[in-house]
Structure formats: C-alpha cells, structure tokens
Amino acid sequence: MKAASIFETKPVFSFEVFPPKPDVPIENIFRTLGELRELHPDFISVTYGAGGSVPGASTAEICETIQEQHGIPAIAHLPCINETRESVLEKLAQFRARHVENILALRGDRNPNVEPKHDFSHADDLITFIRENSADGEFDIAAACYPEGHPESTDLDTDIRYVKQKVDAGASHLISQLFYSNRDFYSFREKLAAAGVSVPVEAGIMPVTSKKSIERMVSLCGASIPNRLAKLLARYANDAASLKAAGLEYAIEQILDLQENCVDGIHLYTMNNPDVARYITEAVRA
C-alpha cells in the first residue's frame, strides 16, 4: 500500500524503527516489530541500515518483514549524500525485489570522516532521480522537513523554499524532524501553506526518555528546548526514572494538542522501544 493514500481517509499514526547494530541480536528487531504490530500503526518507517547493521537486517529486509509478516505498510529511508547514481539504482532494485514501494528520500547527515559523493546534493535531486528511473507511480516518495528550519539553512523562509522544491519534484507527503514546541510546528505549517505546499505534513515526535539522549538529538537536528521542558530536565537531572515518566507525559500532551489542532499525522520515533510506543499510543487513543 502506498503510504500517501492513508492520509486521504484519516489522520495517520505511524512509527519509526532502526536496524540493529552489529552487537545487538537480530531477534531483537523482530521481537520489537511483533510488539509494535499489536498497536496497529498505519505504517512503519525504517531508518537507513548502512554497513553497521547485522546481516539479514538491512532497511529493505526489515521493510519486507514489516509488510509480509505483519501486514503493515513500510517506508524505507534512503539518504543520498553518500550514494552514487549506480548505488541508488541498486537500492531501487532491492526495494522492487522485496516489494517495498514507499521511500523517504533524504539528503542525510554529513559525516566529517566520510567524503560525500557528488551525484546528489539535496533530497530533491534524489526525488527527481527516483521519478526518472521508475515506472509512473511505482514508488510513493516522502520527504523530511524541519519545523524550526534545517540546521544548515540560513533562515526558515529559505528552508521552506527547499521543502517546496522537494514537493515540486514529487514528494507526496512530509515527515517532520522532532520538535518540542507545538507553536513552532503550527507556525511552520502556516508558512508551508502560504508557500503553496499543500501535501500532508506528519509531526515527528520523539519522547524524552533520558537527558543524554535528548541533548544528543537536539545537537544533531537543531531543535530548541522550550522553558517547560528545560525545567523538567533540570528538575529530574539526577532522577532518570522520573525524567522518563515526565518526558512521556510531555510527549502525550504534545500529541493530544496536535490532534486537537487537526494535524495530518503523528510519526512516533520509537527508538526501538515497544514499551514506550505502547504507553504513548494507548494514552493518545484512549
């Protein structure tokens, strides 16, 4: 099933998982998927599994498992900064072979230790390439967006122009990077509409489960920490269990408010933790 078609009938509720690292048993991801299936997500996206994943657990293989064994549409992440045209064609062939028809086209994060390839400078280049090298409608292509602007953008208005380029190139819907202020998301949504972007925009929610993990993610994506969340981080700096509990409640409040304000969908970054996904899903669907 094409993920874009789900937005036509209802607000979407979806999950993100990632391939296991080499030191993690492959059974863990299969166990996680089995538990997530019980929560009936509309689709599950799978981050890009580079050479660091265990054998048999690539992005394409996990997507196939999600679809064939669990009956849930899957979206394969495909960052292009370290890909060539030839390697992307190879991955498209892998997706076809495993019946993966949904792709999240990304530029990907720069790695200072890796010299990037030069075939694709931006995600819209990748989207165009996929469209040109696949049958009409063969792949449904999603793209990413940053409610507070991409860390490398000069300003939010410039970043929104880049988002529009992705949509004009063929992205059928958008999945946002994490954010912790719904006001930022609503403002971003209004700016997108003013720029002529009318595709569905799914709000990416990453629960705060530890101080260290959230500081790392914020440093990578450039998201800001609102005062209320900063106070929670300070209050429970030495109490990991209480911080996790407060972080989950913060995420639930975020989602409920987004749902009340007619969000197109919620994309929950599960961090491969089905207990976290279950707690939040049951709370917002109650």
Pick from 233, 175, 178: nearest CA to 205:
178
16 belongs to the catalytic site:
yes
Which pLDDT tens digit goes with each residue over 99-140? 999 999 999 987 777 777 789 999 999 999 999 999 999 999
Which pLDDT tens digit goes with each residue over 80-93? 999 999 999 999 99
Q: What is the mean pLDDT of each run of 10 residues along the chain (286 residues)?
A: 95 96 86 98 90 68 96 97 95 96 93 80 97 97 97 93 98 97 98 98 97 86 92 94 97 98 98 97 91
Residue 55: its pLDDT value, please?
A: 57
pTM for the structure as a whole: 0.95
Domain ranges of the chain: 3-208+249-284
Using the structure block, give the residue that is written with the tokens 């998201």: 223
Distance CA 263, CA 124 (A): 24
* CATH code of domain 3-208+249-284: 3.20.20.220
- According to DSSP, residue 113 is labeled T
Three-state SS annotation for the chain: CCHHHHCCCCCEEEEEECCCCCCCCCHHHHHHHHHHHCCCCCCEEECCCCCCCCCCCCHHHHHHHHHHHHCCCEEEEEECCCCCHHHHHHHHHHHHHCCCCEEEEECCCCCCCCCCCCCCCCHHHHHHHHHHCCCCCCCEEEEEECCCCCCCCCCHHHHHHHHHHHHHHCCCEEEEEECCCHHHHHHHHHHHHHCCCCCCEEEEECCCCCHHHHHHHHHHHCCCCCHHHHHHHHHCCCCHHHHHHHHHHHHHHHHHHHHHCCCCEEEEECCCCHHHHHHHHHHHCC
Exposure of 217 in the CB half-sphere (CA atoms within 13 A): 18
Residue 76: its pLDDT value, please?
A: 97
User: Do residues 226 and 180 make contact, with C-beta atoms less than 8 angstroms apart?
Assistant: yes
Distance CA 284, CA 277 (A): 11
Given the residues 16, 83, 148, 202, the one annotated as active site: 16
